[in-house]
Amino acid sequence: QKEVEQNSGPLSVPEGAIASLNCTYSDRVSQSFFWYRQYSGKSPELIMSIYSNGDKEDGRFTAQLNKASQYVSLLIRDSQPSDSATYLCAVNIGTGNQFYFGTGTSLTVIP
Amino acid sequence: GAVVSQHPSRVICKSGTSVKIECRSLDFQATTMFWYRQFPKQSLMLMATSNEGSKATYEQGVEKDKFLINHASLTLSTLTVTSAHPEDSSFYICSARASYGYTFGSGTRLTVV
């Protein structure tokens, strides 16, 4: 089992809809969770970080963490064509500083 | 915000030569940096963890003698791909932990011909 798993998609949503991205992880002691957006040929950029169970909102983005079920999700409200990218879930594994990425979910927002 | 500067952004080299990639933390000290590799349409794969003043920790399957990492100061880590082969062609990205999370360099596109 991989440490971090995501549905690779592709996920397509119409403009203005809610895009829902999911991620599961294997290590119960993981404490830090991140969502990154990566445009083709570019480096990842941080969207959200979440450390506690529940929801965390930042503008159109909401991260949700459920440690008991070992999943973290990202909701994008009012999706825009510029949101079209690959979204990477990253989780720290164990108690070290290393963190691992999921395979990424490709999102396309259709105008 | 915390910035990691990575150079070069693109490099083309001949098979058998070595290439050095630099990552600098510009406005913060990075005791630990991470090196990732990303092949087309794949996710980032952690290669190694670079620790200032000590040996790097390599992930399973990554050859430490081929991918030399030096982290001699709190603001600079380098990755040298030695005796590069076409299969080493990839997108190499460094990352460091800043106060708000992990920040990435802009990446280096390595093409070995």
SS (H, E, C) chain A: CCCEEECCCCEEEECCCCEEEEEEECCCCCCCEEEEEECCCCCCEEEEEECCCEEEEECCEEEEEECCCCEEEEEECCCCHHHCEEEEEEEECCCCCCEEECCCEEEEEEC
Per-residue confidence at B82, pLDDT binned at 50, 70, 90? very high
Percentage of chain A exceeding pLDDT 90? 63
Per-residue confidence at A3, pLDDT binned at 50, 70, 90? confident
Instruction: Determine which of B36, B39, B43 to mutate to test the interface with A (most A C-beta atoms within 10 Å).
Output: B43
Instruction: Answer whether residue A96 shows pLDDT above 80.
Output: no
Whole-Å CA distances, A14 to A77, A87, A111, B103: 11, 17, 6, 30
Cα-Cα-Cα-Cα torsion B64, B70, B71, B75, nearest 10 degrees, comes to -130
Residue type, A73: S
Cβ distance of B102 and A99 shorter than 8 Å: yes
Can you give the pLDDT at residue A97? 67
Rounded Cα distance, B78 and B73, in Å: 10
pLDDT digit string (tens) for A75-85? 999 999 999 99
Cβ distance of A100 and B46 shorter than 8 Å: yes
Nearest CA-CA distance, residue B8 and chain A, Å: 14
Per-residue confidence at A2, pLDDT binned at 50, 70, 90? low
B46 interface with A at CB cutoff 8 Å: yes
Can you give the pLDDT at residue A84? 96
- What are the chain B neighbours of A46 within 8 Å (beta carbons)? 100-103
Can you give the pLDDT at residue A19? 96
Cβ distance of A46 and B93 shorter than 8 Å: no
B97 interface with A at CB cutoff 8 Å: yes
pLDDT digit string (tens) for B22-77? 999 998 888 889 999 999 878 888 899 998 888 899 999 999 999 999 998 889 99
Whole-Å CA distances, A39 to A9, B8, B74, B81: 15, 19, 29, 25
Can you give the pLDDT at residue B101? 72
Rounded Cα distance, A79 and A17, in Å: 5
Cβ distance of A97 and B46 shorter than 8 Å: no
